Amino acid sequence: MGTALVYHEDMTATRLLWDDPECEIERPERLTAALDRLRQRGLEQRCLRLSAREASKEELGLVHSPEYVSLVRKTQVLGEEELQALSGQFDAIYFHPSTFHCARLAAGAGLQLVDAVLTGAVQNGLALVRPPGHHSQRAAANGFCVFNNVAIAAAHAKQKHGLHRILIVDWDVHHGQGIQYLFEDDPSVLYFSWHRYEHGRFWPFLRESDADAVGRGQGLGFTVNLPWNQVGMGNADYVAAFLHLLLPLAFEFDPELVLVSAGFDSAIGDPEGQMQATPECFAHLTHLLQVLAGGRVCAMLEGGYHLESLAESVCMTVQALLGDPAPPLSGLMVPCQSALESIQSARAAQAPYWKSLQLQDVTPVPTSPSTHSPEGRPPPLLPGGPMCKAAAPAPAPSSLLDQLCLCPAPSVRTTVALTAPDITLVLPPDVIQQEGSALREETEAWARPHESLAREEALTALGKLLYLLDGMLDGQVNSGIAATPASAAAATLDVAIQRGLSHGAQRLLCVALGQLDRPPDLAHDGRTLWLNIGGKEAAALSMFHVATPLPVMTGGFLSCILGLVLPLAYGFQPDLVLVALGPGHGLQGPHAALLAAMLRGLAGGRVLALLEEDSTPQLAGILARVLRGEAPPSLGPSSVASPEDVQALMYLRGQLEPQWKMLQVGAFTPQK
Ligand code: X5A
Ligand code: ZN
C-alpha cells in the first residue's frame, strides 16, 4: 500500500549561531545526510514523497500553551544576542530566526504522515524532521526540541481521527520526558521509552525516567520506561527489550496506530548514546512493530548525531517500512547482564497493570555469576553447542559500518509453488506462481528413502518444492509457499531440510506445527534447530530439539512466539527458515500470518512455508501476502494465556535458558 516520506528542505535552515558545545551536534547536515543516502540507495524513489506543511496555531495548541507558542513565534524577529539570551532560559536549546518556521514544518510533517496513514493513502511512513520533538513540553523547549512533533501527532490522531489507542515507541537514546509528561494520565496513549540512564547520572538527570515511573491516575501502566544503566547496549539487548517487554504489552494494548520517536542516537557510533546497536537493528525493530495496528506505523526523526550511522539507520528503517526483509543481525545474540536487570525491573514495575506479564515471573532463574562484571560491558558468554563455533566475533564498530555500505539490496520476490489445481488463489501482485519443477530423476532420488513419497501426487509436489528451494538458496527468490499431500508432509519436510543443508544453508530453523516429528536421520550437529509446536507436552530433548503444545488461547500463542520461538530464532541466527503447517496444526489464518510475518525477520526473510494441499486458499493467500512484506491482520484484544500455556513456556524456559540467552526475561539479582 506504500510508504510515505515527508520532508521539506526548509527544515535545514535552523542552526546554532554561537558557540555551544552541547548544542552543536544538532545541525542541518543531519537531514541532508539521511536524505542523500536514501536517494543513493534508491529508497527515496520508492516512497510517496510528501512536502511538509506548517502546523497551525490550533494544532500546536493541542499540546502547547498559547503563551509558549507566541513566545516561539516572536523569536523570528530577534537578533542574535536576544536569541542567545532566550535560549539560555531553557536546557540544551538554541533558537535561530528560522526556528519557528522549521519547528512548525516538523510538527506539520508528522500531521501529514498521520493523515496519509489514517486515510489509507499509505500503509506507513517516515517524517524526516528537525528540530526534534520528544523533550519539548507544554510550555518549554528542551534538549534541541521546540514543539513536540510526536505528541502533537498523537493528539491529532485522537481528536481528528477518533482513535482510542495509540502506541508511542521512543527508541531515541534519551528519555522523551516531554511525551511522558503530556500523556502520563492518559490511558489512550501507551508511551514506551528506553534511554541511557546510568542510575540517573545521564541527561536529563530525572528521577521520573526510571522504571518505576509508570504513569498516574487513569494512566497507570501506560508509561513504560526502560532505563539503560550502562553504555554499550547492542542488538541483542534491544531485541530482548522488544520481545520481553514492549511487544507483550503492545499486543495486549492492541493499538490502532504506532508512532515512533525515531531517534538514531541509540545506534553505534553516536557520541550521545555510546551504544553498540548496528543500523540493521532498526530494520528489525521496525519490522517487529509492523505486526501491530495492521502495520500502521508512523516514524518521526528525533535525535541521531553520527551522520554515517544516522544515514544508514534511516535507510534500514525505510527499507523495513517498504516491506523489504531485514538484513540478518551481526554479533552474538546474548543480552548483557545490565540490560537483563533493566528489563526485569521494568517488567516488575509494569506487572500489576498487564496480564501478559503476570503469572510468568514465578521463579526468577539465577544467571551464571560469571556473566556479571561491575564495570563496563560484561563479556558475552558463548552459548554451548557446535553452531556457536560458526558465529564470528562482533566486528569493530567502524568496520561494521563500512561493511553495511556494501550490503546489496535484498530481493523481495515471493514465489508460490502450489500443486493442487483446485486451489484458485488470488495472488497479490508481484507474487509469482511457479511453474518449474526439479528434474524427475533427481526428485525420485530424494524421494526414494521415503515410502510416503512414492505416490505420484507427492512426487510432483516434491519436485516443485525442490525447485522453489533451489531458487531461494541461490538468491533468485526470497520466500515461498509450497504444498504437499498431508500424508507426505513429514517426508517432504525431511527432504527439504536435507536439501537446504546440503545446498548452502549453514543454519536452518524449522518450525513445525501439528503432528510432525523430528526426522530420525537428522544429524545432531547443531545446524538445524527443530521446534515443534503442537507436541503432546513441552520437552527440550536437546538445545536444538524443542517441542511444545499448541497454546489454547491467543494470549498463550503470543507468549509462545515472543517468549520462545523468536528468542530461540534470534539466538540461533538461521540463514534459512522452514515453517511447516502439518497434520492437525490447528492454526487459524491470522495466527499463522503473525508467525510467518515475525519469522520473516530472520534469515534475511528467506522463509519457505510448507502447507497441506487441502489448506484453504485463504490460508495460502494470507501467507503469500505476509511473506511479500504486507502487515498481518491484527489479532484484536488478546485473551490471557491459559495456565497450561504458561506452564509449558515456563518449563521450557527453565530448561533452555542456560544455552539460549535470548530467552532470559530478566536477571536474578542476588540478595545481599
Ligand atoms: C532529541 C535529542 C538530546 C539533547 C541532549 C542534550 N536531544 N545534552 O536527542
Ligand atoms: Zn536523543
How do residues 473-507 score in pLDDT, each as one tens digit? 998 889 999 999 999 999 999 999 999 999 999 99
The neighbourhood of ligand 2, an ion, using CB within 5 A, equals 172, 174, 263, 265, 303
Which residue's alpha carbon is at the smallest distance from atom 2 of ligand 1?
Answer: 303
* Any atom of ligand 1 within 6 Å of the Cβ of 90: no
- CB atoms closer than 10 angstroms to residue 635: 20
* Any atom of ligand 1 within 6 Å of the Cβ of 236: no
* Any atom of ligand 1 within 6 Å of the Cβ of 263: yes
* Any atom of ligand 1 within 6 Å of the Cβ of 146: no
* Any atom of ligand 1 within 6 Å of the Cβ of 170: no
| Residue 426 pLDDT | 65
Which residue's alpha carbon is at the smallest distance from atom 4 of ligand 1?
Answer: 143
Kindly give the number of the ligand 1 atom that is closest to the alpha carbon of 173: 9
**What is the distance of C-alpha 27 from the center of its chain?**
28
Task: Determine which of 15-19, 439-443, 555-559, 615-619 has the lowest per-residue pLDDT on average.
Answer: 615-619
Q: Which residues contact 530 (CB under 8 A, 6 or more apart)?
A: 510, 512, 518, 522, 544, 545, 546
Q: What is the CA(342)–ligand 1 centre distance, in A?
A: 22
Q: Which residues contact 173 (CB under 8 A, 6 or more apart)?
A: 194, 195, 196, 263, 265, 266, 270, 272, 273, 275, 303
Our CA dihedral for 515, 519, 520, 525, rounded to 10 degrees, sits at -130
Contact 170, 263 (CB under 8 A): yes
Contact 533, 511 (CB under 8 A): yes
Percent of the chain residues topping a pLDDT of 90: 82
Q: Which pTM value belongs to this model?
A: 0.92
**Residue 284 annotated to the active site:** no
Which residue's alpha carbon is at the smallest distance from atom 5 of ligand 1?
Answer: 143
Kindly give the number of the ligand 1 atom that is closest to the alpha carbon of 132: 1
Kindly give the number of the ligand 1 atom that is closest to the alpha carbon of 272: 5
Which residue's alpha carbon is at the smallest distance from atom 9 of ligand 1?
Answer: 303
* Any atom of ligand 1 within 6 Å of the Cβ of 92: yes
- Can you tell me the distance from the alpha carbon of 106 to that of 127, in angstroms, rounded to the nearest whole number? 8
Kindly give the number of the ligand 1 atom that is closest to the alpha carbon of 174: 9
* Any atom of ligand 1 within 6 Å of the Cβ of 144: yes
Is the pLDDT assigned to residue 377 strictly greater than 80?
A: no
Q: What is the pLDDT of residues 518-565, one digit of tens each?
A: 999 999 999 999 999 998 899 999 999 999 999 988 899 999 999 999
Q: Directed axis angle between helix 66-74 and helix 99-118, to 10°?
A: 130
Cell numbers standing for residue 538: 513441552
| Residue for grid cell 544429524 | 523
